[in-house]
A and B are shown apart, each in its own frame.
Chain A
Amino acid sequence: MEYVIEMLNIRKEFPGIVANDNITLQVKPGEIHALLGENGAGKSTLMSVLFGLYQPEAGEIKVRGKKVNIANPNVANGLGIGMVHQHFKLVHNFTVTENIILGQEPTERGRINIQKAANEIKELSKKYGLDVEPHAVIQDITVGMQQRVEILKMLYRNADILIFDEPTAALTPQEITELIEIMRRLVNEGKSIIVITHKLKEIKEAADRCTIIRRGKYIDTVDVENTSEEKLASLMVGREVSFIVKKDAAKPGKTVLKISDLVVNDSRGLKAVEGLNLEIREGEILGIAGVDGNGQTELLEAISGLRKVESGKIELLGNDITNMAIRNRTETGIGHIPQDRHKHGLVLDFRLAENLVLQTYYKEPYSKNGLLNDEEINNKADALIKEFDVRSGQGKDTVTRAMSGGNQQKAIIAREVDRSPKLLVAGQPTRGLDVGAIEFIHKKLIEERDKGRAVLMVSLELDEVMNVSDRIAVIFEGRIVGVVKASSATESELGLMMAGAAQDKGEGDI
């Protein structure tokens, strides 16, 4: 048996779009096989076909050399195929054990033997080094642990072909390293793994072979060892991709945003930002580096007006905006690319066109005498879709929920940048996006800077902060503990500051 999974010439259509067009994927037993593609390339669709969530229009699937018809996920489970979804499917107020046995409860005369199941799970957990406590309640454990519960769920059902859908999206760097170790151990025990991802670094680290798809089409299958990251990137995007962000030196002008002694509470009422001072000037990108949870979210929300300021002052172009209503801030000149694009950035059930005017719908020409002008709205949408290359099934009429993450983000950026705000606030603008989209977004941020706008970018990816910013401010426990020039900053220096080791580095460092 050469291949454990063979998906041959798979075709899957959705209204207005061919998600999979003649795609072939062959997975050898005992390998970690990466499935690489941009957002919306059709990776998840292909895996949903394999898992029985969708029926393909053409093509065939062979499991362990035998042709099969996977009509629903139960058939897939029966064939030993298990899937860890990107968004975990766990009952939050159940324990680990209860979640794992859900649907396959070991019953004796109508009663569930939880202890027996818990012991089995403990054993499994030990065998694969997962270190999961069977009686812990899901809502009390970390995201990384929850993912391990999902893995255990597959193992408990005796799956030996494991699909991971974007497994690292929600994990910290430390958890990612651990996950890769776990995956190796699984393979060593005879499992085969398919991992859906667009993160090249992780593919290089973990995978044996990699199949690349682009815009629904099969491109190539390569040995990861002999293929460089650049090569993988260009196969995925279809052109050369540069990892270095090209930009000229910044020409900072007058101060746009001035934050003094800012104090902001988090949702639990604890101080998250404690006496923060910061200044951003025209024509520069200020990157905020820091470990997640050091007050970045609260800072962004305080600037954009989503969160109340306890004390301190925020000034935009000399206007005090500390307690200003959000709409007034927007009109004073703030563009905001929110961290959570689904929560704040988009009304997912709106048409794309409606989302593209979310900040301007009440103004002429989109609204006149209280009436919407659909023609103007649609024209604007078409123009932005073209300019920002926002791809979707039905153009401006696509329900935004049906779009890929990268294109949703492009839509938000189109909307915010198009208003030419004096200050552009970007919270993790490239989170979860593929290299093509990341490159595009970085380019747009730099274009805005070159037009003389001030850009404030928060990112948890140190590489991104270092590549894109002109100046880097490091945030630690709600304070800026140092501001350095990006051109001369080193990773180790920033790393130390992010860990709070450089409290003495003052604001006037540059």
Chain B
Amino acid sequence: MIKYITDEKNQRFIVPLISVLFGFIAGAIIMIITGINPIDGYSALLDGVFGNTRKFGEWIVSSIPLILTGLALAFGFRTGLFNIGAEGQFIVGAFAAVAAGIFVELPKIIHLPLVLLAAALAGAIWGFIPGILKAKFRVHEVVVTIMLNYTALHFINYLIKILPGSTNTRTVDVFPSASLSSEFLSSITRFSRLHWGFIVALLAAFLYWYIIERTTFGYELRSVGFNQHASEYAGMKVNRNIVYSMMISGAFAGLAGAMISIGTFDYARVIGASEGYGFNGIAVALLGNNNGFGIVISGLLFGALKAGSSAMALAKVPKEISEIIMAFIVLFAAMNYGIKRLLIHLRKEEK
């Protein structure tokens, strides 16, 4: 057992698993300090996720956008960019999907792909701005994307209000042909909001892996991410690749937005502040090791903590506990170097 855990080959997934385990242990300690029995807390969490099919459905619903923003961030990380603007790209994507779902009505087989495309495209355009500024003027993407997050928030809130039929808080519903929601999925999960977005998320994870690992284009993007000078030496178009990377990252974030707007709700909402999906994507990508499969798993985990928090609240465990656990997991994931050292140490003692 110890041998398996300390084997270098297994480190890729053992290290994140240990981070998660430590996160839960830390969460337990916090609960004990605040006078809550951690067994009660965690069984409430488990119940909140697996308690019945409706809870299960809601779990998947909260995981879908996290997987997609995780992919967005990971795509940036793999290509040398820190796309902290996933939040803004998420917002414009959410809106674009709704707009495309309100203004036209088409057969579902065409309309649904079209609204998803609109979301991805809007996210890509929002990613294009920092991309081109970095490529042309060497402006750091972190600065530009943070600013664009605010721009997106307020600009989109304004657009939502001026769409035909909008109230002060939301748009009208999209045509059913543009919605991801499904009576079938809802019915088998005791009327949860489960929608077809989980297929989009899984396809996106596959696409992510495929572009990065399998295509010549992905090879170039990774090369530019690691070493721009060597990429230039090899005749790659470095600036163009930076722009593409930002756009693809933005497209994933835009899709994530659509998961909420045409999946969970069927309309776009005016929001007062960022909902944090973009920022949570950082955590998801980090824990998932920027690996397509890993991101699906870590997205599901963070989704569970999010979905389970309300169940915990019902069991008189403060909602904040689940946020604290999330924060601890991120902390331990960021400490992966230390965990690796620990494993090496254990391996030596074994000998």
Chain A contact residues, CB within 8 Å of chain B: 15, 304, 306, 325-330, 336, 338, 343-350, 354, 358-359, 361-362, 367, 370-372
Contacts and interface: CB of A to CB of B under 8 A. Distances in A.
A349 B226 contact: yes
Given A306-B233, A346-B230, A358-B234, 16 more contacts: A306-B232, A325-B235, A326-B232, A327-B236, A330-B234, A336-B233, A343-B227, A345-B230, A347-B230, A347-B231, A358-B223, A358-B230, A361-B220, A361-B234, A362-B216, A372-B218
Contact of A343 (B217, B219, B223, B230): B230
B233 A361 contact: no
A344 B230 contact: yes
B6 to A, nearest CB: 13
Interface string B200-241: 000000000000001111111011001101111111100000
B80 to A, nearest CB: 10
A350 B226 contact: yes
A358 B216 CA distance: 11
Contacts of B229: 343-344
Given A344-B230, A372-B214, A327 B235 contact: yes
B216 A347 contact: no
Contacts of A346: 227, 230
B8 interface: yes
Q: Decide if the interface of chain B is mainly helix, strand, loop or mixed.
A: helix
A304 B235 contact: no
A301 to B, nearest CB: 10
A416 B227 CA distance: 19
A327 to B, nearest CB: 3
Contacts of B226: 347-350
A370 B216 contact: yes
A347 B235 contact: no
A348 B227 contact: yes
B232 A347 contact: no
6 contacts: A336-B233, A344-B229, A345-B233, A346-B227, A347-B227, A348-B227
B8 to A, nearest CB: 6
B215 A326 contact: no
Contact of A371 (B214, B220, B233): B214
A181 to B, nearest CB: 37
A330 B233 CA distance: 10
B214 A338 contact: no
A462 B8 CA distance: 47
Query: Which 7 A/B pairs are nearest by Cβ-Cβ distance?
Result: A327-B235, A367-B216, A344-B233, A326-B235, A349-B226, A347-B227, A358-B234
A327 B232 CA distance: 9
Given A349-B226, A350-B223, A371 B232 contact: no
Contacts of A338: 233
A371 B215 contact: yes
Nearest to B8: A15
B209 to A, nearest CB: 13
Nearest to B235: A327
Contacts of B219: 354, 361, 372
A343 B229 CA distance: 6
Contacts of A336: 233
A359 B230 contact: no
A338 B229 CA distance: 11
A398 to B, nearest CB: 14
Nearest to A359: B234
A182 B219 CA distance: 49
A15 B340 CA distance: 14
Contacts of B214: 371-372
B136 to A, nearest CB: 17
Interface string B173-186: 00000000000000
A359 B219 CA distance: 12
Nearest to B210: A371
Contacts of B220: 361-362
Given A326-B232, A326-B233, A370 B223 contact: no
A354 B231 CA distance: 12
A325 B226 CA distance: 22
A449 to B, nearest CB: 23
A489 B216 CA distance: 49
A358 B234 CA distance: 6
Given A348-B227, A349-B226, A370 B233 contact: no
Given A15-B8, A350-B223, A359 B216 contact: no
Contacts of A361: 216, 219-220, 234
A306 B223 CA distance: 17
B227 A372 contact: no
A367 B223 CA distance: 15
Contacts of B8: 15
A466 B8 CA distance: 49
A304 B227 CA distance: 18
A61 B230 CA distance: 42
Nearest to A341: B230
Contacts of B227: 343, 346-349
A361 B216 CA distance: 7
Interface in B2-19: 8
Interface string B53-72: 00000000000000000000
Contacts of A304: 233
Contacts of B222: 350
A132 B93 CA distance: 60
A421 to B, nearest CB: 13
B216 A371 contact: yes
A346 B222 CA distance: 13
A370 B234 contact: no
A226 B261 CA distance: 83
Contacts of A372: 214-216, 218-219
A350 B78 CA distance: 12
A346 B231 CA distance: 9
B235 A359 contact: yes
A344 B231 CA distance: 8
A349 B233 CA distance: 16
Nearest to A366: B216
Nearest to A301: B233
A354 B235 CA distance: 15
Contacts of A359: 234-235
A347 B215 contact: no
Contacts of B231: 347
A347 B221 CA distance: 12
Nearest to A328: B235
Contacts of B223: 347, 350, 358
A304 B233 CA distance: 8
A174 B8 CA distance: 47
Interface centre among A338, A344, A348, A367 (most CB of B within 10 A): A344
B233 to A, nearest CB: 4
B160 to A, nearest CB: 39
Interface in B217-274: 217-220, 222-223, 226-227, 229-236
A370 B230 contact: no
A94 B68 CA distance: 44
A177 B18 CA distance: 54
Contacts of A347: 223, 226-227, 230-231
A304 B235 CA distance: 10
A367 B226 CA distance: 20
A359 B235 CA distance: 8
